[in-house]
């Protein structure tokens, strides 16, 4: 959802009035203001579908889709790693070296991937999705999107086979190996 600057101003002012009047059972003004301030207005139709559902369906911005896929991949990867036994964890550590020692989503580069980092933070902190990442810094302090895209290329065919199953050590190793820069 794209809003003009005057629309943003009006919505923020109305939200502040709404809060000052202590209106109950109304619009989530905290989410509304956060979406406007962080320029994540794409989230408003998702969270307020009863209000904003009329008209043609808006497409999810490609950056949001990318972040959703990345967070989904890392959720399943971290969960799988946590459930592995000591023998399989050792395999991951060895075979996916050096990336098998810390199987954890680090976020996006705060200097060059700020939009992606903002989307991830908004999904986790404001929308309550991907709760596994709540409280994390989300700043990788280094470029990450190209790495995640290589990982996604390996993950996508695996995703279709999981269907509620936990990822295997071999699948985790294959995804983690994709972090390596291609030679």
Structural domain of 117: 62-177
Whether residue 40 sits in one domain with residue 115: no
Whether residue 147 sits in one domain with residue 70: yes
Q: How many domains does the chain have?
A: 2
Whether residue 20 sits in one domain with residue 67: no
Whether residue 164 sits in one domain with residue 108: yes
Burial 103-138 (b: 16+ CB within 10 A, else e): bebbbbbeeebebbbbbbbbbbbbbebbeebeebeb
Confidence of residue 102 (pLDDT cuts 50, 70, 90): confident
Whether residue 66 sits in one domain with residue 48: no
Instruction: Write out pLDDT tens, residues 107-148.
Output: 999 999 999 999 999 999 999 999 999 999 999 999 999 999
Instruction: Write out pLDDT tens, residues 146-170.
Output: 999 999 999 999 998 888 888 999 9
d(CA 141, CA 135): 17
Position 92 scores a pLDDT of: 94
The CATH number covering residue 123 comes to: 1.10.3190.10
57 within some domain: no
Confidence of residue 100 (pLDDT cuts 50, 70, 90): confident
Contact 69, 60 (CB under 8 A): no
Contact 96, 177 (CB under 8 A): yes
182 within some domain: no
Let me know the angle formed at the C-alpha of 32 by 117 and 40, rounded to the nearest 5 degrees.
30
Whether residue 33 sits in one domain with residue 123: no
Instruction: Write out pLDDT tens, residues 46-72.
Output: 888 777 764 556 778 999 999 999 999
Whether residue 170 sits in one domain with residue 130: yes
Whether residue 92 sits in one domain with residue 14: no
The 3-state DSSP class for residue 139 equals strand
Whether residue 152 sits in one domain with residue 71: yes
Whether residue 122 sits in one domain with residue 70: yes
Whether residue 67 sits in one domain with residue 40: no
Position 55 scores a pLDDT of: 54
Whether residue 155 sits in one domain with residue 80: yes
């Amino acid at each position: 959802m794209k809003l003009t600057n005057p629309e943003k101003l009006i919505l923020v002012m109305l939200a502040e009035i709404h809060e000052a009047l202590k209106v109950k059972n109304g619009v989530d003004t905290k989410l509304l203001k956060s979406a406007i301030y962080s320029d994540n207005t794409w989230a408003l139709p998702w969270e307020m579908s009863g209000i904003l559902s009329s008209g043609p369906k808006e497409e999810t911005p490609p950056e949001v889709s990318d972040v959703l896929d990345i967070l989904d991949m890392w959720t399943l990867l971290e969960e799988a790693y946590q459930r592995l036994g000591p023998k399989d964890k050792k395999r991951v550590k060895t075979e996916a070296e050096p990336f098998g020692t810390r199987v954890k989503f680090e976020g996006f580069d705060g200097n060059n991937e700020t939009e992606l980092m903002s989307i991830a933070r908004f999904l986790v902190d404001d929308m309550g999705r991907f709760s596994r990442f709540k409280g994390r810094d989300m700043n990788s302090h280094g470029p990450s999107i190209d790495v995640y895209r290589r990982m996604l290329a390996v993950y996508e065919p695996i995703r279709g086979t999981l269907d509620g199953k936990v990822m295997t050590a071999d699948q985790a190793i294959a995804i983690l190996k994709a972090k390596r820069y291609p030679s």
